[in-house]
Structure 1
Amino acid sequence: MLNQPYPFREVTKRDSIGIVLAGLFVAGFLVFFQPFGIYQWNTECKVLKIAGYGLVTILVLLIDFYGIRLQWISFFNEKSWKVWKEIGWVVFILLSVTIGNYLYNMWILDTATFRFHNFLVTAITTFSIGIFPTTGFVLANYIVRLRHYSKPVEIHSPVYPEFSVVELIAENEKDRLIVKSSQLLYIESADNYCTVCIQTEGRITKELIRSSLTRLESQVSVSDIIRCHRSYIVNLEQVTRISGNAQGYKLHLLGLEETIPVARKYAKQVLEVLQKA
């Protein structure tokens, strides 16, 4: 299970809301219950100092998500994301929060001496609050999504008239690519360019065109050539079957070894088109 594909989620602005809520939860939990001997503290501004752990959580998570995760692209890659990576990421987050909490402890206690025993206590406290629910959620989410996306899907591929074409115009408004819709397999975004995959008489070729995927999407007038992922537009006429894993549905195209991913937000529309008679 640990080496199986796991749903990968891009960092978005909504994550900042979740980070703030996580910090508020930590602060509220510690202030209200005062576990791990906190109730024995005899200090000024006790509530504010306890709530400071929530602020530390927010600051550390902002660094983790918007610093490390967004910058380390080679590791945080959708195609290679596994269950063990997700769990490892959770453990890393908890460890980084532990370090932040320990440094905060040193500051409020006005001590510059590192004590391994105190650090270990801080780590146990942080992990005991977060490791079990988060790891349990990762595994439960994997099982639920795997069961959902592994169910067989019956499809009815549409058939286009031979004269139906797609015209793609580059950003310079001069370069263009005209291809029969029956020959187009998919379009994939690649930085400032898009790769157009075409199949002609059993031979697959790829053409580059300088444009964003969203711009090309607006130029496609064939109803069954649609967006299925943030990086893909796919020709559903060429889909022979659908498979799935915990990351979602995968489209198998005629004559193509690689599969095309379907993002969760596009899954319903893709299935509706493929299953219509």
Structure 2
Amino acid sequence: MSCSIFILIFEPFEIENQTGEWYVDLIIFSLGIIFFLSILLIEFLVPKVIPKLFENWNFGKAILWYAWVILFVGAVMFTYKSYLGGFRDFTWMEYFSVLGRILIIGITVSFFTLGVISYLNRQRFSLISSNENYKIKAPNSKSIRLNLNNVMYIVSDDNYVDIHLNADGKREKIVFRSSLKNIESQIVTSLTPIYRCHRRHLINIKFFEIKKNTSRNVKIQLINYDDEIPVSKQYADLIVSLLQVRP
């Protein structure tokens, strides 16, 4: 929808109604609809059909995935455009031209849309991948799988970590032989809600609220529970800002 409105208003790449007929505007508007539907198809259908492809998501996988998304959406838009034009320009050159247009329009609209959403609700970006199952590995230990949406916090205990979970309102604790740094390297990314708040603690910010906030001391508390977690000075500004903007 955003792309349709963007194309109609700004008329990029000479995509404009030169006839003045209302149905031409409708055809131009349909380009944005097809663009949206093709992204909806690949972003929601593929993860459900091939969920293992999205496990242990990282930057490299994201680059490959969105390169594929651009190629797929480009193919759909190229086919639709060629159909409207009677397949007169059904060539590789035109396909790459469509890819370039999609990339520029998509990036422009996406940055604007994401900027608005981020301004209104920055916190939700960290929850994008919270429902993914992460396979956690450690030397001399059997790997485990964690759904980050269920992880409340993780605390280091010498050579082990205590992983506190909340699944469907039921608390559970897993003791896993690993360093906290090893766990952090596998689950803390810009897309997850897990943050380090202390040398011994990782937290899921959606489960916490600010208990005490002074210039000398910051403490957070597990919502609906008595668990209190200290916040080191070096992490205090970030953790407080994240909890303050949470809806």
Give me the TM-score of the superposition, normalised by structure 1.
Answer: 0.46
- Paired with 2:98 and 2:145, the residues of 1 have a C-alpha distance of 47
- Paired with 2:10 and 2:189, the residues of 1 have a C-alpha distance of 41
Deviation at 1:101? 1.1
> Is 2:29 the partner of 1:48?
no
Structure 2, unaligned runs of 5 or more: 127-143, 148-158, 160-165, 211-218, 222-226, 231-247
> Is 2:39 the partner of 1:100?
no
Deviation at 1:38? 1.5
**What amino acid is aligned across from residue 130 of structure 1 in structure 2?**
G
Alignment of 1:30-179 (within 5 A): 30-39=7-16, 41-42=18-19, 44=21, 45-77=23-55, 80-111=56-87, 114-131=90-107
Deviation at 1:29? 0.6
- Paired with 1:38 and 1:102, the residues of 2 have a C-alpha distance of 14
Percent of aligned positions with the same letter in both sequences? 17
> Is 2:206 the partner of 1:265?
yes
Instruction: Provide the residue aligned with 1:12 in structure 2.
Output: none
- Paired with 1:119 and 1:57, the residues of 2 have a C-alpha distance of 15
- Paired with 2:54 and 2:26, the residues of 1 have a C-alpha distance of 36
Alpha-carbon spacing, 1:85–1:59, altered in 2? closer, same or farther (3 Å): same
Q: Is the 8 A contact 2:3 2:106 kept in 1?
A: no
For 1:227-250, what per-residue CA distance to the aligned partner results, in whole angstroms no more than 9, with x for missing partners? xxxxxx4379xxx96855533237
- Paired with 1:75 and 1:53, the residues of 2 have a C-alpha distance of 29
The root-mean-square deviation of aligned C-alpha atoms, in Å, is 4.6
Q: Is the 8 A contact 1:189 1:213 kept in 2?
A: no
Flag the structure with larger Rg: 1
Q: Which runs of 4+ in 1 moved over 6 A?
A: 187-190
Secondary structure (helix, strand or coil) at the match of 1:39 reads: coil
Aligned residues between the structures: 165
Secondary structure (helix, strand or coil) at the match of 1:275 reads: strand
**What amino acid is aligned across from residue 27 of structure 2 in structure 1?**
K
Larger RCO, structure (CA 8 Å, separation 6 or more): 1
Alignment of 1:219-238 (within 5 A): 226=171, 233-234=172-173
**What amino acid is aligned across from residue 73 of structure 1 in structure 2?**
P
For 1:125-148, what per-residue CA distance to the aligned partner results, in whole angstroms no more than 9, with x for missing partners? 01112347869x8xxx9xx99xx9
